[in-house]
């Protein structure tokens, strides 16, 4: 069945010779996805790990190791140069001896490849925690100017890509303050544009347009104000309940003057608890495919897989990561 969404993303990255590094090079799910991506000439994968172990895993899949770029951090000919760059990037927070030890960690090593321009993005998390993937990114790649933190969005897809939305933040920030929430809204709008979604950003709450009052509502109201001031070119509105954001009739009734109500494409949740619950309800009860989390706000793309991901999840998130590198 044709998937309009990923066909479009593939067209964007094809022929761009983008390199994506996979720190978990011995993982069969990673290898299967990397093979497909290379065979379709979408990206050039870089697999990290012990060369013999990675090669053995490739052979077990009937693949030739000579067809792939495999790097062992413990036997890298540019390791001294990487150590020096890492010490400089950390601003004296680590010694050279500490850097040599840290950079044997495949996630730190892979993140440095991205930072040094030797790879265009990184995909990890199949066997590592979110913290193991995100921490090196925050220390090395860091957030974009004007962005204080990263956040995790999910692309919610149904009907083979014809129906698609962004849900955020569903993965990183437990209880963002108003400024952080405004940044998440803006970053989520930019993520929507990557997927050819016209961003109409709803700042979600249990209140719509002043119908309720609490510190939590006030935080969303302030976040909406800050986001609008920062990016007046974007359609961002709130605070509003989900039904007011999603259902045209309810939106017109509860928030008649809004450009977003009843027509939202980007849904910004007030905290991680509601965001995580919300995307899983849509996934399990609404039959949406949840693709992500897509890390937002970084200078260069790093993607965090779920440890429950399958090969298809790795394949799709790698395509998204490559597309982010072109933004």
Domain ranges of the chain: 4-142+298-325, 151-285
Give the DSSP letter string of 187-254.
HHHHHHHHTTPPPEEEEE-SSSTTSS-SHHHHHHHHHHHHHHHH-TTSEEEEEE-HHHHH-HHHHHHH
Judged by DSSP in three states, 41 sits in: coil
Q: Are strands 163-168 and 302-304 parallel, antiparallel or unpaired?
A: unpaired
The pLDDT of residue 205:
96
Taking the model in full, what pTM does it have? 0.87
CATH topology of domain 151-285: Rossmann fold (3.40.50)
- Ranges in the chain, pLDDT < 50: 1
CATH 3.40.50.10950 fits 4-142+298-325, yes or no: yes
| Residue 122 Cα distances to 22, 45, 129, 133, 304, angstroms | 6, 10, 15, 9, 9
Nearest CA-CA partner of 180 in 290, 302, 293, 268: 268
The pLDDT of residue 235:
97
Same-fold call for 4-142+298-325 versus 151-285: yes
Question: In the block, which residue shows the tokens 């990397």?
Answer: 34
Contacts of 198 (CB under 8 A, 6+ apart): 192, 265
Which residues in 214-249 are b (16+ Cβ under 10 Å) and which e? eebbebbbbbbebbbebbeebbbbbbbbbebbbbee
The pLDDT of residue 1:
45
């Amino acid at each position: 069945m044709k998937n309009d969404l990923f066909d479009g993303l593939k067209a964007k990255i094809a022929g761009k010779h983008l390199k994506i590094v996979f720190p978990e090079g011995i993982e069969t799910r990673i290898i299967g996805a990397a093979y497909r991506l290379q065979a379709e000439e979408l990206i050039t994968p870089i697999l990290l790990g012990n060369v013999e172990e990675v090669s053995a895993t490739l052979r077990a899949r009937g693949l030739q190791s000579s067809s792939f770029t495999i790097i062992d951090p413990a036997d890298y000919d540019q390791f001294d140069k990487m150590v020096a760059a890492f010490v400089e990037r950390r601003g004296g927070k680590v010694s050279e001896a500490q850097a040599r030890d840290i950079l044997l960690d495949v996630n730190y090593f892979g993140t440095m490849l991205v930072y040094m321009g030797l790879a265009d993005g990184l995909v990890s998390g199949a066997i590592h925690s979110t913290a193991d993937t995100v921490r090196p990114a925050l220390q090395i790649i860091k957030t974009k100017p004007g962005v204080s933190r990263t956040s995790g969005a999910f692309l919610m897809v149904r009907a083979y890509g014809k129906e698609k939305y962004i849900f955020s933040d569903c993965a990183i920030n437990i209880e963002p303050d108003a400024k952080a929430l405004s940044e998440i809204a803006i970053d989520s709008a930019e993520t929507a544009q990557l997927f050819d979604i016209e961003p109409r950003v709803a700042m979600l709450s249990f209140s719509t347009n002043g119908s309720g009052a609490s510190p939590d509502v006030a935080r969303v109201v302030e976040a909406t104000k800050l986001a609008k001031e920062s990016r007046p070119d974007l359609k961002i509105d709130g605070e509003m309940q989900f039904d007011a954001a999603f259902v045209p009739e309810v939106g017109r009734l509860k928030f008649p003057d809004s450009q977003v109500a009843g027509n939202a494409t980007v849904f910004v949740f007030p905290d991680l608890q509601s965001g995580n619950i919300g995307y899983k309800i849509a996934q399990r009860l609404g039959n949406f495919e949840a693709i992500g989390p897509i890390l937002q706000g970084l200078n260069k793309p790093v993607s965090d897989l779920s440890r429950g991901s399958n090969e298809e999840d790795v394949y799709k998130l790698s395509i998204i990561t490559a597309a982010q590198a072109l933004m």
